[in-house]
């Protein structure tokens, strides 16, 4: 076990800035990235922003939302509009975007900082203030043509800001920080909050009446412009992240686990409302007593037209994680996942219809040989079969309770499933009977690919590769040359096959596995799925929305813009152009051009001139946080996470990186609350920063 005196490390993902994606969302809709902030200027007109540069627009109260091109992959955390045309969005790495045409085009503005910006507030088209990490406060009086740094007097993170006119504004942040200005930020004065809890959001209805919300259900109220702040009883210990008041009495706060609180008497009493979700809600915007919208994790959009008596989801489609997908042609496909989820499309994913699986067991693999005949496998030895395109699914007897992870059929009759403890099952009659075959191992097998009834390959833990040329009567171990888990495998003929796995591992064979050669993926991300349509054209998917593409049999792999940082587990291409990837929280992405990204004119962002490791955002976080770093020249970059005792938690990257700006998402869902460190290290640069996980 490695230890560290005071340092630590993290994950990494290149930032793609100027691109129109070749991959687009099919589920959930309108998209599945986390939304951090929302702003409505009327009951009908609103915008929402979030991770991966996501900007959504509605002109009909959210009945439909349209994705707008932000021109960035940065995490957007705040948005403010003063009228139907003029708006500003802010985010990680000091990103500021401006529109003067309702978001038809967004232009990058120079913020003069690389710090995370968390929130922005404009009172008219010209006057606005943005706040962020390390007490950063930026001010513009000309619509963002120039942004000027103001002295906040603190190094605490500022998470929320609210101005009622060009002069009067309040900012809130970590450790109960509250700052007040009455002269447009020329001077900021610290106010006593009476708490050390982190404050996440603030809303003023006028220059006197304001409310701040924060962690552990904290709600503070002022009626005298912040001269005094009084704690109010929220009735919850859930963290609160956003708040919106329309007048001095009526307001709504949102937060952790779908918490929504409502007051009609200035916070004397707060009443919990049913949101219908347990996902975190990060932002809320009301335009009057009745009409409001809340946004949150994985594309969650909630709408009320009666002051929150009822909240209705505006996002459509399942958010259950999907692990596998199988298309037989460009139109017909099936995806499977958690809780027995089965989704079916007959129009290339324009619509996905949920089918009844008859089980709540997670489904990990699916294989169709034509539009009608398909088999899905999953936990507890579950095997489901359809002969009518999924109109009905029938459970088959597997004879095992071992989890099954992968399945491959070459025709309606011949198929093989693999799974836990080296389990291999074979059928030659469409699953009427399944026979156990001897794999000779106890390692978990994750993926399997057959090219005909006899020839197939299975991969699994410890770099396991097994090969059969007689339909599984015998399975022979092949040397992979790696100890990394292999998660997916795809063969297009007897000889040509590719396996992918942890830490960006890609292996290639052109002789049926007699020899496997390691290929350079250029990624450290764990890869989970791979699909080749011929010996040259293939796509691999994995962690942090990673999509890799080759058109020369893997001699070179190119990273594609997926438009998400959600984990991708499965991918299926039917030809070199038409493909579908599936993953966390119901993610379904589709391409009809092989995932090609059309590069437009580069914007004014310059290449980095020095190594930079940015502070993670948000911080504290639960359970996900974004980290960015810059590389001024080609270097081997290592990033690792350590706990408070200096013990290594995980290595996130250890690879050559070319000049550029990069970002990553760290998901600490399996870690306990506490202080962690992340460290970036090259031959010429080492830097460590602290982050706080608070669940």
Backbone angles phi, psi at 647, to 5 degrees: -85, 135
Cα dist from 97 to 70, 388, 663, whole Å:
8, 50, 18
pLDDT at residue 524, as a whole number: 82
Extract the runs of DSSP E, i.e. beta strands, from 387-524. Answer: 394-396, 404-409, 415-419, 424-427, 435-437, 445-450, 456-460, 465-468, 476-477, 486-491, 497-501, 506-509, 517-519
Could you tell me if 557 and 573 are in contact, meaning their C-beta atoms sit under 8 angstroms apart? no
E strand spans, 453-533:
456-460, 465-468, 476-477, 486-491, 497-501, 506-509, 517-519, 527-532
The pLDDT averaged over each successive group of 10 residues in the chain (695 residues) is 31 33 90 97 97 96 94 94 97 96 94 94 97 97 97 97 97 97 98 97 97 98 97 97 97 97 98 97 97 97 97 95 97 97 96 97 98 97 98 97 97 97 98 97 97 97 98 97 96 97 96 96 90 96 95 94 95 96 97 71 55 88 85 89 88 80 81 92 92 87
Whole-number pLDDT of residue 237: 96
Where along the chain do its domains lie?
Answer: 33-57+71-95+109-313, 322-599, 612-693
DSSP-assigned letter for residue 609: S
CA 129 to chain centre: 28
- CATH fold label, 33-57+71-95+109-313: Methylamine Dehydrogenase; Chain H (2.130.10)
3-class secondary structure, 189: strand
Task: Please tell me what DSSP assigns to residue 606.
Answer: P
Fold agreement between 322-599 and 612-693: no
DSSP 580: E
Structure tokens at 381: 């030895």
Tokens of 667: 């998901």
Cα–Cα nearest to 581, from 488, 463, 446: 488
Q: Under CATH, to which class is 322-599 assigned?
A: mainly beta
Distance CA 566, CA 356 (A): 26
pLDDT, residue 597, reads: 60
In angstroms, rounded to a whole number, what is the distance separating the alpha carbons of residues 366 and 418?
12
Gap between the Cα atoms of 176 and 268, Å rounded: 21
CATH class, range 612-693: mainly beta
């Amino acid at each position: 076990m490695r230890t560290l005196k005071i340092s630590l490390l993290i994950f990494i993902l290149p930032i793609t800035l100027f691109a129109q994606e070749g991959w687009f969302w099919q589920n959930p809709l309108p998209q599945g990235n986390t939304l951090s902030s929302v702003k409505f200027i009327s009951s009908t007109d609103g915008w929402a922003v979030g991770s991966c540069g996501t900007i959504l627009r509605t002109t009909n109260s959210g009945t439909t939302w349209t994705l707008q091109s932000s021109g960035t992959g940065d995490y957007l955390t705040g948005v403010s509009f003063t009228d139907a045309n003029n708006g500003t969005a802010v985010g990680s790495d000091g990103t500021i975007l401006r529109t003067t045409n309702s978001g038809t085009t967004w232009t990058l503005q120079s913020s003069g900082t690389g710090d995370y910006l968390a929130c922005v507030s404009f009172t008219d088209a010209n006057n606005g203030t943005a706040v962020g990490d390390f007490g950063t406060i930026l001010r513009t009086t000309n619509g963002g043509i120039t942004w000027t740094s103001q002295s906040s007097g603190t190094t605490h993170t500022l998470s929320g800001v609210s101005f009622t006119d060009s002069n009067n504004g309040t900012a809130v942040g970590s450790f109960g920080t509250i700052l007040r200005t009455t002269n447009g930020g020329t001077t900021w004065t610290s106010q006593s909050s009476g708490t050390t809890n982190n404050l996440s959001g603030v809303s003023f209805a006028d220059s006197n009446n304001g409310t701040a919300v924060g962690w552990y259900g904290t709600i503070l109220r002022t009626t005298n412009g912040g001269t005094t702040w009084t704690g109010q009883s929220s009735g919850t210990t859930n963290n609160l992240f956003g708040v919106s008041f329309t007048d001095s009495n009526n307001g709504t706060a949102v937060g952790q686990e779908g918490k929504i609180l409502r007051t009609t008497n200035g916070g004397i009493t707060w009443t919990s409302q049913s949101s219908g979700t347990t996902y975190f809600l990060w932002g809320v915007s009301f335009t009057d007593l009745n009409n409001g919208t809340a946004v949150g994790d994985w594309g969650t959009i909630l709408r009320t037209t009666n002051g929150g008596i009822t909240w209705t989801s505006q996002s459509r489609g399942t958010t259950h994680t999907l692990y596998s997908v199988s298309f037989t042609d460009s139109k017909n496909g099936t995806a499977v996942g958690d809780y027995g989820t089965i989704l079916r499309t007959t129009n290339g994913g324009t619509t996905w219809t949920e089918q009844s699986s008859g089980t709540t067991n997670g489904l990990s693999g699916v294989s169709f040989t034509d539009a009608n005949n398909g088999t899905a496998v999953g936990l507890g030895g579950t095997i489901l079969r359809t002969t009518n395109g999924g109109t009905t699914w029938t459970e088959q007897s597997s004879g095992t309770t071992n989890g099954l992870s992968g399945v491959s059929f070459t025709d309606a009759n011949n198929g093989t499933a693999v799974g836990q403890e080296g389990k291999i099952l074979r059928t030659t009659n469409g699953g009427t009977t399944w026979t156990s075959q001897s794999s000779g191992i106890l390692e978990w097998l994750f993926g399997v690919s057959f090219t005909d009834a006899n020839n197939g390959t299975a991969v699994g833990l410890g770099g396991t590769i097994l090969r059969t040329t007689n339909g599984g009567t015998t399975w022979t171990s092949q040397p992979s040359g790696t100890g990394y888990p292999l998660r997916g495998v795809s063969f297009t003929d007897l000889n040509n096959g590719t396996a992918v796995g942890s830490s960006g591992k890609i292996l290639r064979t052109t002789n049926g596995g007699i020899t496997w050669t390691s290929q350079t993926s250029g990624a450290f991300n764990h890869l989970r799925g791979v699909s080749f349509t011929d010996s040259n054209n293939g796509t691999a998917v994995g962690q942090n929305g990673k999509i890799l593409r080759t058109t020369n049999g893997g001699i070179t792999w190119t990273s594609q813009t997926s438009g998400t940082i959600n984990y991708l587990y499965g991918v299926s291409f039917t030809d070199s152009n038409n493909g579908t990837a599936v993953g966390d929280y119901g993610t379904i992405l589709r391409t009809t051009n092989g995932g090609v990204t059309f590069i437009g004119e580069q914007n004014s962002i310059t290449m980095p001139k020095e190594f930079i490791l940015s502070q993670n955002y948000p911080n504290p976080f639960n359970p996900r946080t974004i980290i960015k770093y810059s590389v001024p020249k080609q270097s081997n970059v290592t990033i690792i996470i350590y706990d408070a005792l200096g013990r290594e938690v995980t290595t996130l990257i250890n690879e050559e990186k070319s000049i550029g700006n990069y970002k990553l998402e760290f998901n600490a869902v399996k870690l306990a609350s506490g202080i962690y460190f992340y460290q970036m290290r090259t031959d010429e640069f080492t830097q460590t920063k602290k982050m706080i996980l608070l669940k």
